[in-house]
Amino acid sequence: MPKLYEYFGLVVLFYSREHEPIHVHCKYQGKESKAEILYENGKFVKVIVKEVAGKEPLDVQNLKKFKSL
């Protein structure tokens, strides 16, 4: 699982060969959320931040930092 970026303790990673849509995971002290990157007809549409099944989501402060990234 390659690390893409680290910012004030937030670690942004991606899993290769994982399910669609394209997404990245963000971890901080055992908590985790993900951001799905949506495309339609080859064009960027939006990013949706979601919880990861079986994991406690990022707290409000760190979720805000993840969204700003």
Query: Half-sphere exposure (CA, 13 Å, Cβ side) for 47?
Result: 11
The confidence band for 61, taking pLDDT boundaries of 50, 70 and 90, is: very high
Which residues are CB-neighbours of 65 under 8 A, at least 6 positions away?
A: 7, 8, 10
Counted domains in the chain: 1
Instruction: Tell me the per-residue pLDDT of 3-42, one tens digit each, with 9 for 90 and over.
Output: 999 988 999 998 777 778 889 999 999 999 999 999 999 9
Query: Any idea what DSSP says for residue 55?
Result: S
Burial string for 16-39 (b: 16+ CB within 10 Å, else e) reads eeeeeeebbbbbbeebbbbbeeee
Q: Which domain holds residue 35?
A: 3-68
In the predicted structure, residue 69 carries a pLDDT above the cut 80: yes
The confidence band for 2, taking pLDDT boundaries of 50, 70 and 90, is: confident
- 14 touches 4 (CB < 8 A): yes
